[in-house]
Amino acid sequence: MPGADKETELSERIEAFLSELKRCGSGAGSLRGSAETARETTSLLRRITAQARWSNAGDLMEIIRKEGRRMTAGQPSETTVGNMVRRVLKIIREEYARSRGSTEEADQQESLHKLLTSGGSSEDNFRQHFTHLKANVIEAINELLTELEGTTDNISMQALEHIHSNEVIMTIGRSRTVEAFLKDAARKRKFHVIVAECAPFCQGHEMATSLSKEDIETTVIPDAAIFAVMSRVNKVIIGTQTVLANGGLRAVNGTHTLALAAKHHSTPLIVCAPMFKLSPQWDSALQELVLRSFCFLLPGEILSKVNAHCPVFDYVPPELITLFISNIGGNAPSYIYRLMSELYHPEDHEL
């Protein structure tokens, strides 16, 4: 039966995606960038919308929430998956509201007024059936996909506004966004880049070779020399894994030290992060530790008697950050909370 085939095919795809997430998470370093993960998640959600059985918006949201919970449980540190699920849920809410005729924006702006006057919960339980809802939602998801595909280009387009000639720029580790950003600026201007290698995985080496191939003057330094050379650096430009709701970052380990050194020398710290990295969740207990990497650093008989720690991420507080550059432009860290309320609905923060 065609319906059952479609369903099994759909669940197969979901399973494949989940196992891919788990596999990437357990490998050393990320085998795929967050942009790719975001695109794949969104395509999968579009497929679910198209092929799953649902009759009204409430059902669809339940299905997507359920799948979203499974996907985030597969790899909790990859927050883009959860972010995309929340974006799609917001799309569904908006399309539903538009089909009903009421405008969602008015509700948002007068939320305080609503709190005082309405008192009870809204009677919006998404049970009304609309024939064109499916088509509208799928079209909106397609728009989201187009936006995702253009994020890196949108960010790189702003490069020349922030980099002048003969600058010394410092970065850490490997970020595809920052790489594209710097390469775009290098087409018109000459500047110098210092890359901190970010032990023990040393992703900085890959970044440096890739930048130097575009004729950018690059220098690789070990992590210990970050403060020593910071006095000659004009700007620090970094990427991040997640942008948190308070404007802080969850970035690769060593970033907090870099941010403190930049603060000490009053060097601006610029974060290039597309909007799909913005996450309303803060899991302070989640701190991935990777112990495997120490096998090649310490001999076995010592390793068995000591505690070796190798955290993957650092938390950087918003006071140390100067500017966020995203696909919708530049923002101060104090504005991030507002951007977040435009992207996600408060009821979706907890999936």
State which of residues 298, 319, 334, 335 lies at the interface with other proteins (CB under 8 A): 298
State which of residues 67, 95, 184, 223 lies at the interface with other proteins (CB under 8 A): 223
* 1 counts as binding other proteins under rule CB under 8 A: no
Q: Which is nearer to other proteins, 157 or 199 (CB)?
A: 199
Which structure tokens are listed for 85? Answer: 């699920």
Q: Which is nearer to other proteins, 285 or 302 (CB)?
A: 302
3 state SS of 237:
strand
3 state SS of 77:
coil
Q: Which is nearer to other proteins, 37 or 253 (CB)?
A: 253
* 306 counts as binding other proteins under rule CB under 8 A: yes
CA distances to 44, 155, 258 from 121, in Å: 32, 40, 46
Separation of first and last alpha carbons in the chain: 33
Distance CA 166, CA 40 (A): 39
Binding mask 230-269 for other proteins (x = CB under 8 A): -xx--------------------xx-xx--xx--x-----
State which of residues 150, 222, 329, 330 lies at the interface with other proteins (CB under 8 A): 222
* 105 counts as binding other proteins under rule CB under 8 A: no
- Minimum distance between the CB of residue 249 and other proteins, rounded to whole angstroms? 12
Q: How many CB atoms lie within 10 A of CB 78?
A: 22
Which structure tokens are listed for 107? Answer: 């509700």
State which of residues 160, 286, 308, 332 lies at the interface with other proteins (CB under 8 A): 308
Short-list 7, 25, 27, CA closest to 17: 25
Distance CA 348, CA 292 (A): 36
Distance CA 66, CA 211 (A): 42
State which of residues 197, 241, 249, 271 lies at the interface with other proteins (CB under 8 A): 197
Binders of other proteins among 107-166, rule CB under 8 A?
A: none
- Minimum distance between the CB of residue 347 and other proteins, rounded to whole angstroms? 34
Burial profile 17-35: b = 16 or more Cβ within 10 angstroms, e = fewer: bbebbeebeeeebbeebbb
Query: Which stretches of the chain bind other proteins, using CB under 8 A?
Result: 28-29, 194, 197-202, 205-206, 208-209, 212-213, 215-229, 231-232, 253-254, 256-257, 260-261, 264, 287, 294, 297-298, 302, 305-311, 314-315
